[in-house]
Structure 1
Amino acid sequence: MSKALPTELTAAQAISYYSGDEWEIFVAELVEGLSADSAYVLVKRMGGPGDLGIDIAGFKSSQGFEASWDGYQCKQYAKPLSPAAAWVEILKVIRAVVAEECVMPEAYIFMAPKGVGLSLNKLLRQPSKAKLEFSKWLQDHNPTPAMSPLERASVEKQMSETDFSIFDAMQPREIITLHSKTRYHSLRFSTPLPDRNVTVPDDIGGLTGEEARYVDQLVAVYQQRHPDDILTRETVAEHPAKGTHFRRQRRAFFRAETLRVYARESTPPGTFEDLQSDLHAGVIEVADNDHADGYARVQSVLSESGKIDLANHRLVEKTDHEDRKGICHQLVNDERLTWIDGTQ
């Protein structure tokens, strides 16, 4: 964050300290979290000079501003948002539509940590009255840059054709509630991660194409230990000596896969990948040591994975030793670990 904040703040208190830039980032996180329900194909920060009165845009198609989209206007003011402040931004959007820089959004939402004032809130609940008040304000307003008579006429025509029910605002409590459902909330406000539901059956079923490399590596390891046995992907799970070991490794792999999905839904991008990379850094030297055979290497690396200090990772609170072993197999799948030299 851009400021050193007092400790033990509530989320509502914390956002009031955000800079304008940090507030935009916060709102972008929230809008990204809404994208699954709103069908946004892209969420983009637009804030800055010439931003068309749009700080965050949620595009509903690859056509961007030429098709369906929603706009989110971020206002980090010391007081609740007033009608005059809102009219300035609405005018920017209407001017942008007139200039054919975008079509009118399907929704245009004001986002302010202090919320909107009573006057604006009432007007937003009465779209026809809001349009009337905006029209009155426009008659007396000389925007920068100034409008030519032709542009003013076009703006007034567009205003008359615009359904002002598209303009709305979120109050701070609603904003925080929606943000709490995003994968960014826990890290931003140091709250516990949501519960992780691990559903990996004891009998996982048939092998998937995504498992090819780590399974083949394990089969090669077992074959090295049992050279007289016929071991294949299809038969290894029933091998009398190593079948149980293999089934445990598959379960661990699938636990790690559920952790990957959980991280994608509950933590910021890159969180799981950072955990993988640190675990890799912790086991690679053990993997590179000399070992009696591939099986000894596997066991040494899996054992070492449980000893690595990963306390600086948020995901560690939802991770157990089986997950760590599964991540090792993911690393094999990604060709970052190899159990037997010279094998693929």
Structure 2
Amino acid sequence: MAEASGPIFEGIPEPKSPDVVVLAPRMQGAPLPTPEQVLRFGYSEDDWEDFTLEWVHALGDPYVYVKRMGGAGDRGADIAACLTLQGTDGEWHCYQCKHYLAPLMPSDAWPEMVKIFVAKVQEAYELPTRYVFVAPKIGTTLSRWLLSPKTLKKKFFEEWNKEKSKLGADLDSADRAAVEALAEATDFSMFQPADMGFILKVHRKTSHHVRRFPQQLPARPDVEQPPDEQSIQEAVFVKKLLDVYNEKHGLALQNLQEARAHHKTKGHLVDQREAFYSAESLRVFARESVPPATYRAIEKDLYHAVVDVAAGPYSDGFERLRHVLIAASGHQPNQANILAPVVTGLDKKGLCHHLANDGHLTWCKEEEG
């Protein structure tokens, strides 16, 4: 089973992450519980299915559709991951979520296996080509049998054929016979365990992970230098800088190249673009590490720290920009926000240009109104 950063096909809707600000983990005191401990002892069945759905979306298998099916009437499938547009009428994988404090035992697995056979017999689904038990902990006996399809099948039928067995006891004679025949014809290698280490390795690459398991953030990558050519994303902020330079120096600069070539503006322009791209690297890092609201809180906090400064009377746009950048440099992000420790002084200046880029700040008076 390959791993990847997200679903193969863009058409798969991602699980929606709650719009929350992730707080920094405690710096002192008792150690935080491990993700394994949180999952096993701190989750409800619904939480577990939500978590599993996030993991399935992050797998590299070519799923064109992923659907949470859990609840009444799920017919033995908590999460259906479909490999074709035929959905569960075509090839698909079943992820069966089981959340117990005790390890998952064979007695927990048998009824679920019967359900999926019954669903096929009663034409609710096609039989999945992969049926994965997803549990915080799978017991030793079941783990061993799942690694030996022949043994698993033998043990299943031993339980099925026991006198007064509860497996299939609620079926009429025709369906019971059909289920038995289907199970006899099935390769039990379709039944597989999900390894918790692998689950967490894949889930760790999603933005959901830090929300569920507040730990220290990974190291932030180095900031790349701005490209020589102006990118589309910086068009507005560069135009506002050109207005500043033209107003202050009585110039008529029209583009980035002219400003970069002029001795009065090139040094300042280089510094501002470096700040802009530093803030952009923070935005990308946050997008890949935390829910969106966590980054927005950093940006909003800075905006409120500088907006009154930007509103003051100044002789020209350059002075307004200079005072805003000074205020931004002295601003301290909310230390409860998990991103706060990785926000640099250059980021804070760059965030001002991002806010200008988005129309929230402006420098020259003629732009106002």
More deviation in 91-100 or 204-213?
A: 91-100
Q: What is the CA-CA distance between 1:77 and the residue it aligns to?
A: 1.4
Check the 8 A contact 2:97/2:135 in 1, yes or no.
yes
Q: Which position in structure 2 is the counterpart of 1:337?
A: 361
Distance 1:291 1:135, change over 3 A: farther
Q: Which position in structure 2 is the counterpart of 1:268?
A: 291
The aligned amino acid for 2:155 is E
RMSD: 3.0
Distance 1:191 1:296, change over 3 A: same
Aligned positions, number: 334
Distance 1:200 1:136, change over 3 A: same
1:198 aligns to what SS in structure 2?
coil
Distance 1:91 1:279, change over 3 A: farther
- In structure 2, what is the Cα distance between the partners aligned to 1:40 and 1:79? 31
Of structures 1 and 2, the one with the larger relative CO (CA 8 A, separation 6+) is 2
Distance 1:316 1:149, change over 3 A: same
Check the 8 A contact 1:223/1:231 in 2, yes or no.
no
- In structure 2, what is the Cα distance between the partners aligned to 1:136 and 1:246? 77
1:250-276 CA distances to partner (integer Å, 9 max, x unpaired)? 222222222222222222344323322
Q: Does 1:293 align with 2:316?
A: yes
Identity score, percent: 35
- In structure 1, what is the Cα distance between the partners aligned to 2:129 and 2:79? 14
Q: Which position in structure 1 is the counterpart of 2:338?
A: 314
1:22 aligns to what SS in structure 2?
helix
Q: Which position in structure 1 is the counterpart of 2:21?
A: none
1:221-258 CA distances to partner (integer Å, 9 max, x unpaired)? 21111224434233122221122111222222222222
Which of 140, 143, 166 does residue 141 from structure 1 map onto? 166
- In structure 2, what is the Cα distance between the partners aligned to 1:40 and 1:287? 50
Q: Does 1:92 align with 2:112?
A: no
The TM-score normalised by the length of structure 1 is 0.83
Q: Which position in structure 2 is the counterpart of 1:252?
A: 275
The TM-score normalised by the length of structure 2 is 0.78
Distance 1:75 1:297, change over 3 A: same
Alignment of 1:1-344 (within 5 A): 7-8=30-31, 9-18=33-42, 19-32=44-57, 34-35=58-59, 37-40=60-63, 43-60=66-83, 64-113=87-136, 115-139=137-161, 140-143=165-168, 146-201=170-225, 204-306=227-329, 307-341=331-365, 343=367
More deviation in 63-72 or 251-260?
A: 63-72
Contiguous gaps of at least 5 residues in structure 1: 1-5
Q: What is the CA-CA distance between 1:39 and the residue it aligns to?
A: 4.1
More deviation in 252-261 or 271-280?
A: 271-280
Check the 8 A contact 1:81/1:117 in 2, yes or no.
yes
Q: What is the CA-CA distance between 1:100 and the residue it aligns to?
A: 4.2
- In structure 2, what is the Cα distance between the partners aligned to 1:256 and 1:39? 34
1:294-341 CA distances to partner (integer Å, 9 max, x unpaired)? 222222222222314331221122221112222222222222333335
Check the 8 A contact 1:219/1:231 in 2, yes or no.
yes
Check the 8 A contact 2:244/2:318 in 1, yes or no.
yes
Contiguous gaps of at least 5 residues in structure 2: 1-28
